[in-house]
Chain A
């Protein structure tokens, strides 16, 4: 039998075919990981394997890419009353400015897959980007003459998108408040109270009234009978439809959302539940699974495992909000801030008053008013982007000046607010100057009349 004589180009051809096949397999069948051009930011790494969510078909152009950003972020920008919306830059007078920095496009400032240049908030521009449009600020506000442009977005001064609690009138209204408010308390959740008002004659279900007897132990029946679900006459079969016992993370979230749609919406907007969002490509979560603590980029407990869904924090049967507010968080998170919580004054108050003391959830899953109801925002990243957005939570118990100073003190945040902030926040010195100027202005006008 004649042996085949391989020539040099034959080896090249075989190598090309092998590499090509591997790449094609990775792109079409496997997880596309070979095609990730660089590490994504902390805000997107959970979904980086869903290339289509951002890049669409890859050839659709920058307008399609912009639309991809808005598909997930338009609503929160609107809620925040975005200070720099695209529409502001459509004025023809901005043409020269846009040649330097095209602020109409999200990707002008937030370029993904560039870990070497990406900073906080996923911004991939140099920190003095405000200069490009606001170079004449010192002429407009003499009080800003000595500030560098890299300091504009320092905690407690300005944010590019969300200045909801940082505008002048708001700070003026909150100037002079004490560090700890006299009437310090968190708003109470309203869902159960509302239900009881609407159903005054409904009695809580008892363990023996459970309408399903699959493999339920006494422990499960007791947990359920003591839960808010049993109080609101939600029986086993309302979750275990068709006797289903095993649920995927996606099924858990969908099942809970049949009653708690607002909670699902906010949960799937945050890092915990992002992979379960219906805005991602169909079938993604089945392919890569829901987010797991092991995949986090911040330190986690060594034994933290499993997928994140509603029942990860709220036990499936006890749906315990008290447990979820601290124990669930600390069961996974082991960064310095989390580990320091049990040594903080906040924890002491929580231990003595679990109903309204400041837990992990009080700050990171804030209670917000929507349509006259107080509901928990389950997007735990919402008020961390940037962290001054947490100010409304702090203001439940603390004065604004104290709160802003605390939120600007990185060491204090690491220590989980163990002490008072080391120094005052300069924003309030500017506000006091401003109030004095307004007062003088009024006096001068009164004199001249």
Chain B
């Protein structure tokens, strides 16, 4: 009986230790999002909105290299995501929307569609799930992407390719999808 008790206690201890090893995917995804969101909000407000809308010094434009202008906030984020992917950093992220200007940024997997709808229906909450893409299983998290600046709203409402033109400040316009391979 004592042997059995020792065995159960040891197993519980080991299981407990295992739980504290590494970082849970959900916690990791939340941390990554915090960095992405902070950088994105700062770039949008402190660079694009200030230079383009307030001080009217330099516009942001999709073809920023040719026109010698600022990259759009969404482009900045996509460039970051591509750089992270190239470095094989152990996670991937993307900015998607149910109403994307660039149709390549619409949801493609069932989980993306589900997650984007969830963050619209549940303001302040995040979506977490698991999905298999190719041979790899991913922990997938979706975070609401809120229009933080008039620059976001006016660009999306005015663009000829935008499927929606009634966005308002503070509204969820899409979502940041973070994937961590398991």
CB of B109 within 8 A of chain A? yes
Contacts of B62 in A (CB 8 A): 169
**How many angstroms between the C-alpha atoms of A140 and B61 in the bound complex?**
21
Q: Which range contains the number of B residues in contact with the other chain?
A: 20 to 34
Q: Are B109 and A93 in contact (CB under 8 A)?
A: yes
Which listed residue (B65, B109, B133) contacts A81, Cβ 8 A? B65
Asked if A12 is an interface residue, CB under 8 A from chain B, the answer is no
Interface residues of B in 137-163 (CB under 8 A from A): 138, 157-158, 160
Pairwise interchain contact A92-B63, C-beta atoms closer than 8 A: no
> Given contacts A87-B82, A92-B138, A92-B179, are A170 and B66 in contact (CB under 8 A)?
yes
In the complex the two chains form, what is the Cα distance from A81 to B67 in whole Å?
Answer: 14
Q: Mark B60-94, 1 if CB is under 8 A from A, else 0.
A: 01110110000000000000011101100000101
Contact between A90 and B136 (Cβ–Cβ < 8 Å)? Answer: no
* Residue pair B66, A87 in contact (C-beta under 8 Å): no
A434 to B159, alpha carbons, bound, how many Å?
12
Interface, chain A (partner B; CB < 8 A):
81, 85-88, 90-93, 95-96, 98-99, 136, 140, 164, 167, 169-170, 434, 437-438, 441-442, 445
| Cβ contacts B116-138/A at 8 Å (1 or 0 each) | 00000000000000000111101
B136-A95 in contact (CB<8A): yes
- Chain B residue numbers with a CB within 8 Å of A170 are 63, 66
Q: In the complex, are the beta carbons of A88 and B134 less than 8 A apart?
A: no
A87-B82, A88-B82, A90-B82 given; A169·B63 CB < 8 A: yes
Chain B residues with CB under 8 A of A98: 134
Asked if A90 and B83 make an inter-chain contact with CB atoms under 8 angstroms apart, the answer reads no
Query: A90-B92, A95-B133, A95-B136 provided; 19 other pairs, C-beta below 8 A?
Result: A81-B65, A87-B85, A87-B86, A90-B85, A91-B81, A92-B92, A92-B136, A92-B138, A92-B181, A93-B112, A93-B133, A95-B134, A95-B135, A164-B66, A169-B62, A170-B63, A434-B160, A437-B160, A445-B158
**Residue of B157, B160, B179 contacting most chain A CB atoms (<10 Å):** B160
Q: In chain A, what residue has the closest Cβ to B85?
A: A90
B138 CB contacts on chain A under 8 angstroms: 92
Complex: chain B residue closest to A140, CB-CB: B103
Chain B nearest Cβ from A163, distance in angstroms? 10
CB distance A90 to B134 under 8 Å?
no
**Closest chain A residue to B157, Cβ basis:** A445
Q: Is B53 an interface residue (CB 8 A)?
A: no
Q: Which residue of B lies closest to A439 (CB)?
A: B160
Chain B CB within 10 A, most for which of A87, A92, A140:
A92
B45 within 8 A of A: no
What are the residues of chain A within 8 A of B134 when measuring CB–CB? Answer: 92, 95-96, 98-99
Does B108 reach chain A (CB closer than 8 Å)?
yes
Chain A residues within an 8 Å CB radius of B135: 95
Q: Please measure, in the bound complex, the distance between the C-alpha atom of A372 and the C-alpha atom of B140, giving whole angstroms.
A: 48
A434 to chain B: closest residue by CB: B160
In the bound assembly, the distance between CA atoms of A164 and B66 in angstroms comes to: 9
Whether the Cβ atoms of B85 and A91 lie closer than 8 Å is yes
Closest to B165 in A: A445
The closest CB in chain A to the CB of B96 belongs to A93
Residues of A within 8 Å of B81, CB to CB, are 91
Interface residues of B (CB under 8 A from A): 61-63, 65-66, 81-83, 85-86, 92, 94, 103, 108-109, 112, 133-136, 138, 157-158, 160, 165, 179, 181
27 interchain pairs, CB-CB under 8 A: A86-B86, A87-B85, A87-B86, A88-B82, A90-B82, A90-B85, A90-B92, A92-B133, A92-B134, A92-B138, A92-B179, A93-B94, A93-B108, A93-B109, A93-B112, A95-B133, A95-B135, A95-B136, A96-B134, A98-B134, A136-B103, A140-B103, A170-B66, A438-B160, A441-B158, A445-B157, A445-B165
Bound: A90/B63 CA distance, A: 23
Shortest C-beta distance, B62 to chain A (Å), equals: 7
Give chain B residues whose Cβ lies under 8 Å from the Cβ of A87.
Answer: 82-83, 85-86
A81 and B75 CA atoms in complex are apart in Å by: 14
Query: Which of A86, A93, A95, A438 has the largest count of B CB atoms less than 10 A from its CB?
Result: A93
Instruction: Determine the residue in chain A with the shortest Cβ distance to B159.
Output: A441
Given A91-B85, A93-B108: A441 touches B66 (CB 8 Å cut-off): no
When distances are taken between beta carbons in the complex, the residues of chain A under 8 Å from B165 are: 445
Considering only CB atoms, which chain A residue lies closest to B94 in the complex? A91
A88: B residues at CB distance < 8 A: 82
In the bound complex, how far is the Cα of B61 from the Cα of A93, in angstroms? 27
Closest 6 interchain pairs by CB?
A95-B134, A90-B85, A87-B82, A140-B103, A95-B133, A92-B133
A437 (CB) vs chain B CBs: closest residue: B160
Task: Determine whether the beta carbon of B63 is less than 8 Å from that of A167.
Answer: yes
Query: Least Cβ distance of A82 to chain B in Å?
Result: 12
Question: What's the least CB distance linking B68 to chain A, in Å?
Answer: 13
Contacts of B157 in A (CB 8 A): 445
Q: In the bound complex, what is the Cα–Cα distance between A442 and B103 (angstroms)? A: 21
Q: Which chain A residues lie closer than 8 Å to B82 at the CB level?
A: 85, 87-88, 90
Q: How far is the CA of A88 from the CA of B75 in the complex (A)?
A: 13
Looking at the assembled complex, report how far the CB atom of A36 sits from the nearest CB atom of chain B, in whole angstroms.
Answer: 34
CB proximity of A175 to chain B, nearest CB, Å: 16
Nearest residue, chain B, Cβ from A438 = B160
Residues of chain B with a CB closer than 8 A to A95's CB: 133-136
Assembly CA distance A91 to B181 (angstroms): 12
Residues in chain B near residue A90, CB distance under 8 A: 82, 85-86, 92
Kindly state the separation between the CA atoms of A86 and B158 in the bound complex, as whole angstroms.
32
The interface residues of chain B lying within 8 Å CB-to-CB of A441 are: 158, 160
Complex formed: what's the CA distance from A281 to B61 in Å? 44
